[in-house]
Amino acid sequence: AQSVTQLGSHVSVSEGALVLLRCNYSSSVPPYLFWYVQYPNQGLQLLLKYTSAATLVKGINGFEAEFKKSETSFHLTKPSAHMSDAAEYFCAVSPGGATNKLIFGTGTLLAVQP
């Protein structure tokens, strides 16, 4: 079975500081991995995804993530936080294939302090 674990339900950074949101996955098959952002009372917006191509994935809004098979990790980073980055972030895994469903982590709420 596939699953993702997000370490840290709340992360607070200062504006301009590095953002690091952690995600570890468990999958019996090569996974597809995703990071989504959710603003209050809204749906999810895709930041980036890994689909077995380049291990370093660049996404929107300056975010990127690196797939590390040896560490079963897919951590999300951004060099310099903006106030507008404050939101809930979800890591998700899809086994691909016939099921095609996304399994979400518990989410990390990012707060950006001025």
Partner 1 sequence: GAVVSQHPSWVICKSGTSVKIECRSLDFQATTMFWYRQFPKQSLMLMATSNEGSKATYEQGVEKDKFLINHASLTLSTLTVTSAHPEDSSFYICSARDPGVIDGYTFGSGTRLTVV
Residue 11: half-sphere exposure toward Cβ, Cα within 13 Å: 23
Piece in contact with partner 1 (CB under 8 A), picked from 22-30, 59-67, 79-87, 106-114: 106-114
**Which of these segments, 11-19, 20-28, 36-44, 66-74, binds partner 1 (CB under 8 A)?**
36-44
Task: Determine the 3-state secondary structure of 16 from DSSP.
Answer: coil
Which of 113, 112, 46, 35 shows the shortest CA–CA distance to 73? 35
Q: Name the nearest CA neighbour of 89 among 72, 103, 67, 104.
A: 104
Say how far apart CA 48 and CA 36 lie, in whole Å: 7
Residue from 48, 103, 110, 112 that binds partner 1 (CB under 8 A)?
A: 103
Q: Is 36 in the site for partner 1 (CB under 8 A)?
A: yes
Nearer to partner 1, 80 or 106 (CB): 106
Binding residues vs partner 1 (CB under 8 A): 32, 34, 36, 41-46, 49, 51, 90, 94, 96, 99-107, 109
